[in-house]
Amino acid sequence: MPYSEKILNRSVDPATQKMLGRAEELDLETAWDRYEKMLPQCGFGELGLCCRICNMGPCRISPFEDTGPQKGICGATADIIVARNLIRMIAGGAAAHSDHGRDLAHTLLLTAQGKSGGYEIKDEIKLSALAREYRIETQGRSKEDIGLDLAESVYAEFGKQEGFVQFSRRAPKKRVELWKKAGIDPRGIDREIVEIMHRTHIGVDNDPVNLILQGLKTSIADGWGGSAIATEISDVLFGTPEPVRSMVNLGVLKHEHVNIIAHGHEPVLSEMIVAAAHDPKLVEQAKACGAAGINVVGMCCTGNEISMRHGIPIAGNFLQQELAVITGAVEAMIVDVQCIMPALGDLCECFHTKFISTSPKAKFPGAIHMEFNEEHAMEIAKEIVGTAVENYANRNKGKVFIPEDTTDCMVGFSAEAIVKALGGTLDPLLDAIKSGAIKGIAGVVGCNNVKIKHDEGHVELVKELIRNNVLVTTTGCNAIAVAKAGLMLPEASAQAGEGLRGVCQALGIPPVLHMGSCVDISRILTVCAAVANALGVDISDLPVAGAAPEWMSEKAVSIGSYVVSSGIFTVLGTVPQVLGSPLVTQILTKTANDVVGAAFAVETDPIKGAGLMIAHMDAKRKALGI
Ligand code: XCC
Ligand code: SF4
């Protein structure tokens, strides 16, 4: 079926195009329609020039120097307002990632105490490795005893008042020294987030540079703290990912099965849903209802988590969540936290789909709340899956429209799995970088954003990188986009430049390595730190670069900030709300180089964005003399 210009401009993904056509047929509204109704978006907001921090406001600063107010009522300038708004976004993002990490620490604590209902410590090697980092005794101790000490140690990172965040010490010495010198070596995770909220209160910190430094400090507490804790403790509890085959796109939904989507972020929930769906009684019940079985699939980052560990298929990325419901084939959309559109409530009411919220932190209009807790995890997960199974009888087969599109992919590249694929040491990778077979390593991550044609920024940028022999690591919604485009298969090395192709063929790996969910960007940092340490240089000396072609969330702002703070040049594909302050723009895109040895660039054209990353890698190679 040929689609309208409008649909073709919204997404490059065929399944998404089909579903947008279906939404039109059924006269259902999606994020794209709401975006169009929102236009033109507020010009002050776009530039970051609106302040609502106190009730004398809202204040809006005129972007034109000769007309309109140049100061807020309290006297805050554009620079102050933009800097405050920006770092409040960092606080929001760092809080989200870190609270996710805290939940994992909580689950480990309960598991070690024997109080959790169905979890166990699966990766003892990782447990011991982490325990060593914290100088916890491991000799002759049970995994539960070690786990208890580890849980308490990582828990303490959040409320720490002084000192440093342990995992940040994985960074090269030079990097840590630089953080200390700039005053951005974070103390406790919560402390830095709270300090942003304090400093941005009316009448506290009114120095844009000082504000941004606190933003960077907090973001480091996220990347090397909260996010790293989320990743590492997930590995301890659920296993460290290893390469596994999976499938992506809406075609993973099945006509004859009970379809359950696990959407959100924390594997604490999705792991249990996956386990519960294997319960023989529930499978039998599904069959008694006329279904062929139970089909659990993932969406967004929790989808990445269960795909990385079990090969569970992923239905789609952020902008596909509404489309999944519109297939009419979803018995339950089970959600926990983050990136879940409140629009799902009304939409699910147009179908038989049950929208089930599970976290006390995240309730939604139109959702049934079945609160999840770790103590009774398996029991509750079975109840939730049971609700989905019962709902199969309510599916209206006449309303079902599942696009056939699916793509195979190979996922599961944790840092450990990469080293393993390399034969046990990083040397083959270092050699390939030195010889120039691999020009450099890119981390391409982040969301979808209706401001950009869905998946196009992700796919085009990544294709251009691999064509130029850049090995790409990916997480989050970028990973799902490039998997859909077929780039996450060993065969995709045919689309890579000659050098990268040779390396991929020799190792049997794809040119794009799926490293997990967004908190797993900590895995990318771990790899960069290991490479820098092996070469005896800082991360900022390496031919590496980051990109977030379609980013939208506060978490992405925090991510970009810690990636840059770690010394990695980063290209943003959507424009951040900072252009109202030439000073803040200058700090982020130029001055940051003098402080942390890296900066941001904004480039909405993905091919040009890739070009900036490649030029950066070439310059770093030259400086290293390789
Ligand atoms: Fe959310 Fe994590 Fe962004 Fe995707 S990439 S839209 S933050 S699901 Ni994390
Ligand atoms: Fe206006 Fe200042 Fe209050 Fe912001 S803090 S709303 S600029 S008076």
According to DSSP, residue 74 is labeled T
pLDDT tens sequence across 337-357:
999 999 999 999 999 999 999
Q: What's phi and psi for 73, nearest 5 deg? A: -60, -35
pLDDT for residue 416 is more than 90: yes
- Average pLDDT rounded to a whole number, residues 195-206: 98
Cα 407 to Cα 314: distance, rounded to the nearest angstrom = 10
Ligand nearest to the CA of 554: 1
**Rounded percentage of the chain residues whose pLDDT exceeds 70:** 100
Q: What residue owns the CA closest to ligand 2's atom 2?
A: 74
Residues annotated within a binding site for [4Fe-4S] cluster: 42, 50-51, 54, 59, 74
The CATH 3.40.50.2030 portion of the chain extends over: 250-399, 413-624
Record: fold of 413-624: Rossmann fold (3.40.50)
444 CB-side CA count, 13 A = 35
- Average pLDDT rounded to a whole number, residues 509-522: 98
Ligand 1 atom nearest to 518, measured from its CA = 9
* Beta carbon of 570 within 6 Å of any ligand 1 atom: no
Residues annotated within a binding site for [Ni-4Fe-4S] cluster: 265, 301, 339, 447, 477, 518
- Average pLDDT rounded to a whole number, residues 237-245: 98
- Average pLDDT rounded to a whole number, residues 90-101: 98
How remote is the CA of residue 393 from the centroid of ligand 2, in Å? Answer: 55
Q: Which CATH number fits domain 89-238: 1.10.1270.20, 3.40.50.300, 1.20.1270.30, 3.30.565.10?
A: 1.20.1270.30
The CATH 1.20.1270.30 portion of the chain extends over: 89-238
Cα 222 to Cα 228: distance, rounded to the nearest angstrom = 8
pLDDT band, very low/low/confident/very high, at 1 (cuts 50, 70, 90): low
Quick one: three-class SS letters along 455-496? CHHHHHHHHHHHHCCEEEEEEHHHHHHHHHCCCCCHHHHHHC
Ligand 1 atom nearest to 448, measured from its CA = 6
pLDDT band, very low/low/confident/very high, at 270 (cuts 50, 70, 90): very high
pLDDT for residue 267 is more than 80: yes
Q: Which CATH class is domain 250-399?
A: alpha beta
pLDDT band, very low/low/confident/very high, at 305 (cuts 50, 70, 90): very high
Q: Report CA-CA distances (Å) from 626 to 94, 433, 443.
A: 36, 8, 21
- Average pLDDT rounded to a whole number, residues 398-408: 98
Tell me what pLDDT residue 2 has: 73
Ligand nearest to the CA of 264: 1
User: Which of 266, 477, 514, 572 should be mutated for ligand 1, with most atoms under 8 A from CB?
Assistant: 477
* Beta carbon of 534 within 6 Å of any ligand 2 atom: no
User: Which of 514, 555, 559 should be mutated for ligand 1, with most atoms under 8 A from CB?
Assistant: 555
**Rounded percentage of the chain residues whose pLDDT exceeds 90:** 99
Quick one: three-class SS letters along 198-264? HHCCCCCCCCHHHHHHHHHHHHHHHHHHHHHHHHHHHHHHHCCCCCEEEEECHHHCCCCCEEEEEEC
Ligand nearest to the CA of 559: 1
pLDDT tens sequence across 566-612:
999 999 999 999 999 999 999 999 999 999 999 999 999 999 999 99
pLDDT tens sequence across 422-475:
999 999 999 999 999 999 999 999 999 999 999 999 999 999 999 999 999 999
* Beta carbon of 477 within 6 Å of any ligand 1 atom: yes
How remote is the CA of residue 551 from the centroid of ligand 1, in Å? Answer: 8
Is 187 strand, coil or helix?
coil
- Average pLDDT rounded to a whole number, residues 31-60: 98
* Beta carbon of 57 within 6 Å of any ligand 2 atom: yes
Tell me what pLDDT residue 18 has: 98
Q: What residue owns the CA closest to ligand 1's atom 1?
A: 339
Which among 204, 267, 214 is positioned nearest to 76, based on CA atoms? 204
Ligand nearest to the CA of 55: 2
- Average pLDDT rounded to a whole number, residues 349-373: 98
Question: How high does pLDDT run on average in the chain?
Answer: 98
Cα 599 to Cα 50: distance, rounded to the nearest angstrom = 25
